[in-house]
Amino acid sequence: MVAVDGTGGAIHGTKAHTGEIGLLGILGSALLVASSLEAAIGVTGWQLAAELVSRFSLLLFVIAMTVEPVGRLIPLRTVRALGRERAGFILAFGFSATTSLACLSAPYALKIAALSGPVIAYCGVTGFVLSTMLASGHPATIRILGRPAWRAMRRVAAAYFWVAFTLIGLDHVIGPHRPDNWYGSSLLLLVAAVLIRFSDALVTHLRRLPPPPVKAL
């Protein structure tokens, strides 16, 4: 079974742009929040902002989960250089997901909506897992906890968000919601991410196999 967040060999050779990509997550999320609050006011505006930023964070999550495998599968210099940017996309996803949670809980913090237990619980659990994912991106985490614990943190956090996005998509596709093509597309993206990671794991395994013995004539 392929891990949602594998720990394949890193791609080396060019400088990463973690800060710049993280800034992209901040600016993109801020723009979506501003446009949502401009389009609607009160609870509706915050709900729209949470929804749009959540969609943006899903795109960043899928990119973060696939950028390294794609860089290993496609032997082009540009693609391999992009494969080094996983940490940047994880950071951008963290900023975006945090913004989405903030928008989701804003009506309760501003006391313009009654407290909702499920929403508060979701924000608390997701915030904790998000903090775990971001902490695992710091090099000191490996030294302090050791590689097995660090690997487990990454995999559990990635699996949580993959399952959360999948369940949200399935709920809107199957449940009694207004038709929205986004959720069907998001499910396809999540499935594609797993398939890409599976292909990368398979190719890596095949490359590590010893060559077949040469039979003497």
pLDDT at 137: 75
Helix/strand/coil (H, E, C) string of 123-143? Answer: HHHHHHHHHHHHHHCCHHHHH
- pTM of the predicted structure, to 2 decimals: 0.84
pLDDT at 34: 96
Question: Which residues does 201 contact at the CB level (< 8 Å), separation at least 6?
Answer: 2, 3, 6, 8
Tokens found for residue 83: 């494969």
Low-confidence ranges of the chain (pLDDT < 70): 1-15, 177-179, 214-217
Instruction: Look at residue 216 and give its three-state secondary structure.
Output: coil
Domain borders along the chain are 18-199
Angle of CA points 197, 167, 98, to nearest 5°? 80
Distance of alpha carbon 104 from the chain centroid: 18
pLDDT at 30: 96
pLDDT at 191: 95
Place of tokens 């971001």: 134
pLDDT at 5: 59
Asked whether the beta carbons of 207 and 15 are under 8 A apart, the reply is no
